[in-house]
Structure 1
């Protein structure tokens, strides 16, 4: 009995197979489209986190002493005479703010290098302005500023200005007014050595508001090593707006260290949005005063546990290695030196020394190669580039147990050419 199967009426089994194949192709197509969409969205999010104008470069720290925010209102016979009289009055008030001794205006004027005009209104017989006065450090430093005092200067402290506004905490994600106030702060007259990042590129991914809540010393040591800082300070500004364009109440808090230690706080208020920059400028000066007081009392000393994190990590790896090593058929002579080494290290610990290493860096790969070579040397701790010059000579800094001679010997064993000695080496291929 012959059975003829028409193409118009396919066998049910084959229909099911065709449907399965069609469904499988459709599922594969949709899966691929979903993966591409997820990849595009994820890649766009990662790119969006680092592109654009995110940071504000800090003002170059000059050796001059600057006082901002001096308001004058002077009348005279003409507008030009009122302007000159207003500048002299601003110089006198700025000198008084710095705590300088009583001196005639002619002597104060001789120490002024420039007057920075913020806003000014000149009338026929009246001058109203907000100005800043810059004093020459060479002339005025003996009377005021950091050079006049005998107090100590702080270690390099990484500055992370956190802004809390509208329920969102941010640092460098956008160009915020709090970061701008710190970028425009003239820190040369302060005994606190602020390390102010620009916030551009990958810095906006590392230095976030969540970084302040981290407690890991190893993580902090890695972050601080990238900026060549010894510790961290975190001034926090919390803004509360009563209504759009209305009064702004602000709470400022000074915090310090990897444990986010509270040092002090105060509140201020601005009547309008236009007064917000001036309020933040005054707040920066007050927060800097809190850090100065903490420095004088010893509360701003670097946390020793940050640098001790590497020792703790080496000790943890040694304990883990000892636990994982097989203890079956191990001969006593081979096992005996391990406790002796531990006793020797505990009895006479070796101090790590700072070594500066110069290396040629024609491209990014050469930088990675040099860093990997130094970090692979036993006893090398915290190797980080402190000066990058693509196409020239870069510099890295490393804490080396045994000093530069031991580091030089280990790099020669890896095939590097090493010149120099002591705490300054130069390596090349």
Structure 2
């Protein structure tokens, strides 16, 4: 009976592990964004193959790492000075331990007394730079916004979904490249602003906004078109390097992978070769910034005469206006009308004299004739004398006198002659009647 609770606990634990793994797999499939590695303080050398033996597996592995450090420094020195590796200096293992930052295990096989691996070495830039003679500043390009685009199955994606091409660029160490890449992680609003469709848009205004947002000066598009023979089978990829908002082609190449499991390695080689294409184009001066990405020049400043004329037109003129207001309602109405006239900047009350003439100082942008015309159209009477305007309430005109309508004579009926008698009813017959009926009548 004691074994049954233990057996049930084991089953529950196994189910919990499977459920947790399913949740993690679901999060991994739907999560966006791959943060790029920060390699500004390191120097990387990869592809170091070692095959050493030892008495124990640990001793063999340690010896293999020692050999990789020596090979890595010589290879890095030869790459920095563009000389053969045979001319590189030999450093002691103690010195190499101080300048090596970390060791990257790309592939390894550990046996009882043998170690076979492909390794990468990361050297500290500050410490290794003095021994390599590259402690000074290196020539680099202006910040370039990198947009990785993957085309597969007829659809193009960039940062919308995680893919091997984006991961390869995120893991690429750019410290030794002449191109200053600005790589985005794909989190937040990145998939909305930087996607495969944006790489094809020519609009300069939107490109300026994106470049300002990410602190870049130009655009690089790394495009790969992947064709699979069948799911899980061999794959062939066509890599195209583009530059600028119009996607001008810099170069291209093709790589193949024996199966889908080898696609990540193919993408890593594609990143290195594409970086070489961009670097070669930069050294040749082919990555110049498109002038259309610059902000348009402002219009030339206006001439002094035009500025003085505009200021003269814009400066208001003060007019003194008197208003004959018999009561407070008329005064308030005049004050409100003066303030509501278009072009009036200010109305100052000089005095209030109800039943007499009250005066205002009106600052108006325009001619006094136009001011008077506007006030007249609003029902006020106005008189202009000596530069002053007097407003008064216009008296309504008396209604016109209505005269009674003259009787119109009735038309007279024509009178028959005296010697003509009224015809009898017997003779009122149609002309078409027969003579017999006329005689009977």
| TM-score category, normalised to shorter length | 0.5 to 0.7
> In the aligned structure 2, how far is the partner of 1:189 from the partner of 1:244?
36
Change beyond 3 A, Cα 1:291–1:142: farther
> In the aligned structure 2, how far is the partner of 1:256 from the partner of 1:225?
17
1:74 aligns with one of 52, 58, 72: 52
Question: Helix, strand or coil: the match of 1:234?
Answer: strand
The answer for the alignment partner of 2:125 in structure 1 is: 137
List per-residue Cα deviations over 1:167-194 (Å, max 9, x = no partner): 2111011001100011111112222111
Q: Residues 100-115 of structure 1: matches in 2 within 5 Å?
A: 100=78, 101-104=87-90, 106=92, 108=96, 110-115=98-103
* Alpha-carbon distance, 1:142 to partner: 4.3
* Alpha-carbon distance, 1:293 to partner: 1.2
> In the aligned structure 1, how far is the partner of 2:66 from the partner of 2:236?
34
List per-residue Cα deviations over 1:392-428 (Å, max 9, x = no partner): xxxxxxxxxxxxxxxxxxxxxxxxxxxxxxxxxxxxx
* Alpha-carbon distance, 1:297 to partner: 1.3
The answer for the alignment partner of 1:128 in structure 2 is: 116
List per-residue Cα deviations over 1:124-181 (Å, max 9, x = no partner): 1111223221112123224659x46876211111110111122211101100110001
> In the aligned structure 2, how far is the partner of 1:98 from the partner of 1:164?
35
Q: Residues 260-271 of structure 1: matches in 2 within 5 Å?
A: 260-271=247-258
* Alpha-carbon distance, 1:333 to partner: 6.9
List per-residue Cα deviations over 1:354-386 (Å, max 9, x = no partner): xxxxxxxxxxxxxxxxxxxxxxxxxxxxxxxxx
1:160 aligns with one of 122, 147, 154: 147
Change beyond 3 A, Cα 1:333–1:229: closer
Query: Root-mean-square deviation (CA), in Å?
Result: 2.8
> In the aligned structure 1, how far is the partner of 2:230 from the partner of 2:176?
37
* Alpha-carbon distance, 1:103 to partner: 2.3
- Compare the two structures and name the one with the higher helix fraction: 1
> Where does structure 2 lack aligned partners over 5 or more consecutive residues?
1-28, 79-86, 312-441
Does 2:190 match 1:212?
no
> In the aligned structure 2, how far is the partner of 1:96 from the partner of 1:253?
32
Q: Residues 44-59 of structure 1: matches in 2 within 5 Å?
A: 53-59=31-37
List per-residue Cα deviations over 1:333-353 (Å, max 9, x = no partner): 789779xxxxxxxxxxxxxxx
- With normalisation by structure 2, the TM-score equals 0.56
> In the aligned structure 2, how far is the partner of 1:149 from the partner of 1:213?
39
Question: Helix, strand or coil: the match of 1:164?
Answer: strand
8 A Cα contact 1:88 1:105, kept in partner: no
Question: Helix, strand or coil: the match of 2:276?
Answer: helix
8 A Cα contact 2:126 2:135, kept in partner: no
> In the aligned structure 2, how far is the partner of 1:96 from the partner of 1:204?
42
- With normalisation by structure 1, the TM-score equals 0.57
Does 2:189 match 1:202?
yes
The answer for the alignment partner of 2:380 in structure 1 is: none
8 A Cα contact 1:151 1:296, kept in partner: no
The answer for the alignment partner of 1:5 in structure 2 is: none
Does 2:173 match 1:173?
no
Larger Rg: 2
Question: Helix, strand or coil: the match of 1:119?
Answer: strand
* Alpha-carbon distance, 1:219 to partner: 1.6
> In the aligned structure 1, how far is the partner of 2:250 from the partner of 2:161?
27
Does 2:76 match 1:89?
no
* Alpha-carbon distance, 1:221 to partner: 0.5
1:65 aligns with one of 43, 68, 74: 43
Change beyond 3 A, Cα 1:92–1:254: farther
Change beyond 3 A, Cα 1:235–1:144: farther
The answer for the alignment partner of 2:275 in structure 1 is: 288
> In the aligned structure 2, how far is the partner of 1:68 from the partner of 1:140?
16
> In the aligned structure 2, how far is the partner of 1:128 from the partner of 1:196?
34
